[in-house]
Amino acid sequence: MWGSASGIYLDGQATLLPAVSNGQYDAAFMIKSAAYIGIHDLKYDLKAWESQYKKLPICYPFRKTEKDDQIREAVNKTLDEMHKDGTLKKLSEKWFGEDMTLEPKE
């Protein structure tokens, strides 16, 4: 019906929404929070459709040094505390319009 699909890799999330918006590409597969920011804050006339892939883990790369191990541990501890006290939920609702800290529904 639509022919064959092909994947095209761009230089980052910032190039995806403009490429879809101007018709260069039909769609983009990207992180939900980045799509929300582009569509709502940057005023792209696009609609974000939920993916069939409900859970995509994210990561924060750190250098492989003892100092960065300490930073990583501090970041993880802070994120855990923010999740437990509801701060992450509040920030998510403020900046993304919904609670993106919930486990996705299967």
Q: Where do the structural domains in the chain lie, given as residue ranges? A: 8-49, 57-101
Q: Tens digit of pLDDT for each residue in 28-55?
A: 878 777 888 888 888 888 887 776 555 6
CA 87 to centroid of chain Cα atoms: 18
What pLDDT does residue 1 have?
A: 46
* Highest mean pLDDT (candidates 29-38, 43-52, 82-91, 92-101): 82-91
